[in-house]
Amino acid sequence: MKELVILSGKGGTGKTSLTAAFAGLSQNMMLCDTDVDAADLHLLMAPEIKETFDFVGGNQAIIDPEKCVACGLCKALCRFNAVIEHTNPLSFTIDGIDCEGCGVCVDLCPEKAIDFPRKTCGQWFVSDTRFGPMIHARLGIAEENSGRLVALIREETRNRVRKQHLNLILTDGPPGIGCPVIASMGQANCILIVAEPTVSGIHDMKRVAQLAAHFKIPAMVCVNKFDLNPDQGLAIEQIARDNNIRSVGRIPFDPNFTQAMIQGKTILETHENSDASQAIRKIWQTIMENPVMKQERIM
């Protein structure tokens, strides 16, 4: 089993458009969208949802006004300022958005007046697409635990890939370098950083590259929209060389990416012979020929 995780640090550099295009070039592959906060891959893949599961994340503290004697200990203990004090008469409630789900107030309330129900924080789906099966998810608005949901759907993807005798996982990752990104990359063969030739693109790709190095995961980089600023594009490739990251190619700026997106297709489907499409095919070949993508991972 092999897994390539598409990341970028900065949002909007083309991770999802590229992941979908690669999916169209792969066989025996399963897609996994780990951008559970703001997933977009389904907009290109038109998944037919076969199975739906609830994601039960953390718990939430709720004060039972019948039992509460308004001693205020919960407010004193809460490190997240989630306990709201009301006057006339004195009473306390918990702000569901600020509650971290740590349960400290629940366990230490002398009146045992705080309930701690588990809450459904989102859903995840197993779907079929024209390029192969896909696992994706939707974290509820304003919810926590995105890292746990990512870990869960990656685990499910691996189990199903094994069972269905597939051999490649293509993972469309989230932006940033935090909790869901770290949960997206563990054990992968390699990450592909989609960088854009801008000052922000450079700054952010460096941080993802550092993250990959920190967790000892091999990285490759491709520059999207290269001709928007070729000097910055070259700078990205130089940074890659300096950091032992393989540059796998350049994709020209092409408004047809947006046109393809509007049709719910990949650019390879709508503009098969464009320069961008040819660049993507070459990049895919370069990635798959790299020794790191030939290693079987036991996951």
Partner 1 sequence: MIISIASGKGGTGKTTVATNLSCCIPEPTTLLDCDVEEPNSHLFLTPNFTGRENVIAPIPEVDDAKCTYCKRCMDICRFGAIAVVAKKVLTFPELCHSCGGCMAICPEDAIREKDRVLGIIETGFVHPKTDNGKKIQFAHGLMDIGQVMAPPIIRQVRTHADPKGVTIIDAPPGTSCPVIAAMKGADFVLLVTEPTPFGLHDLTLAVETVKILDIPHGLVINRAGMGNDDVKAYARKEKIPVLMEIPFDRKIAAAYSKGELIISCLPEYKEKFLRLYDDIKTLVAQRRQVR
Which of 176, 245, 276, 284 forms a contact with partner 1 (CB under 8 A)?
176
231-239: list long-range contacts, CB under 8 Å, 24+ apart.
Answer: 231/197, 232/197, 232/198, 232/199, 232/201, 232/202, 233/197, 235/197, 235/202, 236/195, 236/197, 236/201, 236/202, 236/205, 239/202, 239/205, 239/206, 239/209
Q: Looking only at residues 3 through 32 of this chain, which bind partner 1 when binding is defined by CB under 8 A?
A: 9-13, 16
- Strand-pairing partners, residue 247, are 221
Q: The sheet that has 2-7: what strands, in order across it?
A: 48-59, 118-129, 132-139, 29-33, 168-172, 2-7, 190-195, 219-223, 246-250
Residue indicated by tokens 């130089």: 238
Which amino acid is located at 247 in the chain? S
Which of 197, 219, 240, 245 forms a contact with partner 1 (CB under 8 A)?
197
d(CA 188, CA 5): 7
Binding region for partner 1 (CB under 8 A) out of 19-27, 47-55, 190-198, 271-279: 190-198
Which of 258, 285, 294, 297 forms a contact with partner 1 (CB under 8 A)?
258
Binding region for partner 1 (CB under 8 A) out of 63-71, 124-132, 150-158, 168-176: 168-176
Q: Looking only at residues 69 through 108 of this chain, which bind partner 1 when binding is defined by CB under 8 A?
A: 77, 79-80, 97-98, 100-104, 107-108
**65 in contact with partner 1 (CB under 8 A):** no
Whole-number minimum distance, CB 53 to partner 1, in Å? 19
**182 in contact with partner 1 (CB under 8 A):** yes
Nearer to partner 1, 198 or 286 (CB): 198
Nearer to partner 1, 7 or 168 (CB): 7
Nearer to partner 1, 3 or 172 (CB): 172
Residue 40 phi, psi (nearest 5): -130, -15
Are the CB atoms for 217 and 243 separated by under 8 Å?
Answer: no
Nearer to partner 1, 147 or 249 (CB): 147
d(CA 38, CA 60): 23
Whole-number minimum distance, CB 197 to partner 1, in Å? 6
d(CA 130, CA 110): 57
Q: Which residues bind partner 1 (CB under 8 A)?
A: 9-13, 16, 37-38, 40, 43, 58-59, 77, 79-80, 97-98, 100-104, 107-108, 139, 141-144, 146-147, 174-179, 181-182, 196-201, 203-204, 207, 210-211, 214-215, 228-229, 232, 255, 258, 261-262, 264
